[in-house]
Amino acid sequence: MHDIRALRENPELYEKAWAAKGRSGAAAEAVALDARVRAIKTASEQAQAKRNEFSKLIGQAKARKDEAAAQALMAEVEALKANVAAETEAEAAAIGALQDLLASLPNLPAPDVPVGADEHDNVEVRRWGEPNAIASPKDHVDLGEGLGLLDFEAASRMSGARFTVLKGQLARLERALGQFMLDMQTQEHGYLEVSPPLLVNDAAAYGTDKLPKFAEDLFQTTDGRWLIPTAEVPLTSLVMGQIVPEEELPMRVTALTPCFRSEAGASGRDTRGMIRQHQFYKVELVSIVAPEDSEAEHERMVGCAEAILKALNLPFRTMLLCTGDMGFGARKTYDLEVWLPSQGKYREISSCSNCGDFQARRMDARTKKAGEKGTRFVHTLNGSGLAVGRTLVAVMENYQDEQGRIAIPQALHPYLPGLTHIGGEG
């Protein structure tokens, strides 16, 4: 959601950003709607004030038992009635139209976000690790099926495409990865572990900008709730409608949850393997901070995500997304891309976004300094730390050997005692 006052004062800034996303003219439309809202509002309030005045007089007449005067006033106010109804109705309609428009418009990119059309214009910020020279690397599908521990056919029989069955040590490795990530984020990076609901209502989905625009990307339950596409939704919604004392900020929370995505717009993309699934585990990081702290927090959060890849010794690069590749609610986004030997390229494994006050406005999440008057909207940030399914893929492919076995990364040994390899005698 946007600050209509900021928009009113600086429409060119918004127009520039929205035109680049194919919403040319939206800023002017919003400003015009806003002017209409305020004009109607003033008229509507004046009509109500007049009616209230009469009603008060009627009350006073009744109080002194002057029935005749009361009846006369009631006759007089009768004429105002229709007017008030029409005005308030027009007011609600105008406000609704403005709200709908504003809710459909994406966040503005931060000034230091590179301008670009799509992922080709993203900027590599840094690179870590050297891709292993693996002779004719297998992909994770061949590796997993070769080990008899990955079964896409069974999954498709019971659930359809984009699901997987993991078995044995591979299932155990997935679990170990989730535990490892969660432990690192809580014990080393100071995030508070949360076990949130996986089903949320409209308000939570709207506040985290999944609704109304992206309903088709979500699964909905028969009673109208939504399966979370990411723990960002429930974690950020912890502050929905709240006024958080400023001394409690920054608030850092994390959760390991399944994520459910319909992948409605992705048919045909990444159909092989478990890169793009309807269901996957992810450790999510969410920070709620004071406005002036969000940029520094963003850098910190990216570091918390990178730390997992470093600990697992997986080569990756950090990308700063350009304006055209950023998500709807983000003001600035870093993606982490991990090296996948089978594809010979880097693939997204984490996305860390600073949403500024965009989500906070939608969900009315504010902060207040003790002893000071007034509140400010908080800034919200979210990032994957990391996507467990894709990390499993990366571990399988980067730790494979010539026999199709998979070595266990050093950092996971405490989670898989006695296990050095998956496959073979391991």
Q: Under the rule (CB under 7 A), what is the footprint of RNA?
A: 5, 38, 41-42, 45-46, 48-49, 51-56, 58-60, 62-63, 70, 74, 77-78, 81, 84, 92, 371, 373-375
Q: Are 192 and 186 in contact (CB under 8 A)?
A: yes
* Residue 147: how many other CB atoms lie within 10 Å: 19
- Could you give the C-alpha distances from 112 to 91, 123, 294, 323, in angstroms and in order? 39, 11, 14, 10
CB of 301 to RNA, least distance (A): 28
Q: Looking at beta carbons only, is 67 or 401 nearer to RNA?
A: 67
| Between 43 and 110, CB nearer to RNA | 43
Cα(45)–Cα(40) distance, integer angstroms? 8
CB of 48 to RNA, least distance (A): 4
> Please, what is the minimum distance in Å from the beta carbon of residue 80 to RNA?
7
Minimum Å gap between C-beta 95 and RNA is 9
* Cα atoms in the Cβ-side hemisphere of radius 13 Å centred on 374: 2
Q: How far is the CB of 357 from RNA (least distance, A)?
A: 13
Closer to RNA at the Cβ: 20 or 69?
69
- Rounded CA separation 73/61 (Å): 9
Contact between 285 and 94 (Cβ < 8 Å): no
Asked if residue 255 lies in contact with residue 231, where contact means CB atoms within 8 angstroms, the answer is yes
Residues 6+ apart with CB under 8 A from 300: none
Phi–psi pair at 25, nearest 5 degrees: 90, -10
Residues marked active site are found at: 261, 276, 348, 351, 390
Nearer to RNA, 5 or 269 (CB): 5
Closer CB to RNA, residue 42 or residue 104? 42
